Amino acid sequence: MYKLMIVEDDRGIAEAVKKQAESWGLEALAVSDFSGVMDEFARFEPHIVLLDISLPFYNGYHWCGEIRKVSKVPVIFISSASDNMNIIMAMNMGADDFIAKPFDQSVLIAKIMALLRRSYDFAPSKNILTHKGAVLDPGAGVLNYDGERIELTKNESRILLCLMESKGQTVSRERLMERLWETDSFVDENTLTVNVNRLRKKLDKAGLSGFITTKFGVGYMIE
């Protein structure tokens, strides 16, 4: 399920878009803390962001710039300030589209769905990997084991993919971070540790205790 993050301080518009998006099968989040947009972004891990220009604390240009520091996720600006200068600024900040208010809800959703298809549906498919009865589907971000479906975050899936591709070999922490940087996730040492620990807890809970081995001072390994 694709996830839409709505950064719009007009609650009526935000809730209407959220309801419409959910009717199309999207998971939608309307941000309420406009001083911590990036915290919400990190927690929710959206596939696409709808971003107003005029917001409390910092404007949409600021948040688009912050998003672009860490992600290539599609961003659509929505604003009543639809003069050429604002449209040009939005595109220069890394936006993928600009929709002027007032807008038709069905047109907005059609644009969102089209951008999602272009961004994700045509991505190269990743092969299924198996090890000790565990089956990883990197494209879906899911690990299946003993009849249980384990949902993984994007980073957890990428970490497990890298380790399973190199099973029997130690993968350095530096290599894992490089693999995440190659996509749209810029992580440091602490963030990598948090992601690996969270992944291990999910594996342990599913009965895959010890699936990932730590090679102290070097990295991680799936034996």
DSSP calls for 49-78: EEEESS-SSS-HHHHHHHHHHH----EEEE
Q: Is the pLDDT of residue 94 over 70?
A: yes
Q: Considering Cα of 74, then 80, then 82, then 83, what sign does the dihedral take? A: negative
Q: Give the tens place of pLDDT for each residue, 195-212.
A: 899 999 999 999 999 999
Q: State the Rg of the chain over Cα.
A: 19
Structure tokens at 54: 């005029």
Closest alpha carbon to 78 in 14, 170, 164, 162: 14
Rounded to the nearest 5°, which phi and psi values hold at 122?
-95, 10
Global confidence as pTM: 0.55
Q: Are 211 and 134 in contact (CB under 8 A)?
A: yes
Read off the pLDDT band of 1 (50, 70, 90). confident
Q: Are 152 and 201 in contact (CB under 8 A)?
A: no
pLDDT at 180: 76
Question: In whole angstroms, what is the distance from residue 199 CA to residue 194 CA?
Answer: 9
Q: Give the tens place of pLDDT for each residue, 15-55.
A: 999 999 998 888 999 998 999 899 999 889 899 999 998 88
pLDDT at 69: 85
Q: Other C-beta atoms within 10 Å of 86: how many?
A: 18
Q: Is the pLDDT of residue 184 over 70?
A: no
Structure tokens at 83: 């003069």
Question: In whole angstroms, what is the distance from residue 137 CA to residue 129 CA?
Answer: 7
